[in-house]
Structure 1
Amino acid sequence: IIMAISLELHRSLGAFIALIVVNCLILGRAEAFASKNTIPRSMLDALGMGVGFTLALLSIGMVREILGSNSLFGIALFPDGFQTWTVMVLPSGGFFAMAIWLLVVNWLKNRQAENEAQAQELTS
């Protein structure tokens, strides 16, 4: 809509529009919770949501940094022959990082379920 109304405004805001939308989603969720709960519960919820969102951003960013530039906080992690994944430093790299995390989480869940099934067989 902004692009249709004012191309110049769209060009100047371009990269920030997505950040503004995400910020509105986070604040809208916090406001919806706070309007139905007490102040202490709302403060704890806001703290938990803030820490959780920060950890999510850090986990995605760290995967992108490690695989995209072979470093973390400026320290090289793999030998010189390591082939970096150029896609990880592109905007789409966030989706790949998220996919990697989903693969790891699902693998761990499946492994845990298999271990529980084996333990169940041993006890019966």
Structure 2
Amino acid sequence: MRARANAAAAVATALLALSAIPGCLVSSHNSTRVNGAYVDNADLAAVAIHRSTMDDVERRLGPPTCRDCAEDGVEVWSWEATERRSGHGGVLFLVSASDTRVVDRTVHVKFIDGVAVEKWRD
């Protein structure tokens, strides 16, 4: 019983000592940055197939980053964006880790004679 009390006292003393050290014991920082023409899921869902016109789509999604035109009235618009997520964490200035993830996101809408007939995300 006395050994348990001594162990508990040692742990409590260690935790108290660690909390008195100046600076951060544990720190982390995360950030997300998007460059380009990002289209969220709600805006893409609002594009009605066989009903939305080019004007409707541009009003909702903004100007596309690329317009591909064919001779037969088919046109494909694309919105391209790059999402960069960065994170950094450290413990007691002894262990440090960082991670950066880059994701390219592209949305396409295909039009025939000015009306949306297909939409997809890469």
Q: Same fold (TM over 0.5)?
A: no
Q: What TM-score does the superposition give when structure 1 sets the normalisation length?
A: 0.18
Greater Cα radius of gyration, structure 1 or 2: 2
Q: What TM-score does the superposition give when structure 2 sets the normalisation length?
A: 0.18
Which structure has more relative contact order (CA 8 Å, sep 6+)? It is: 2
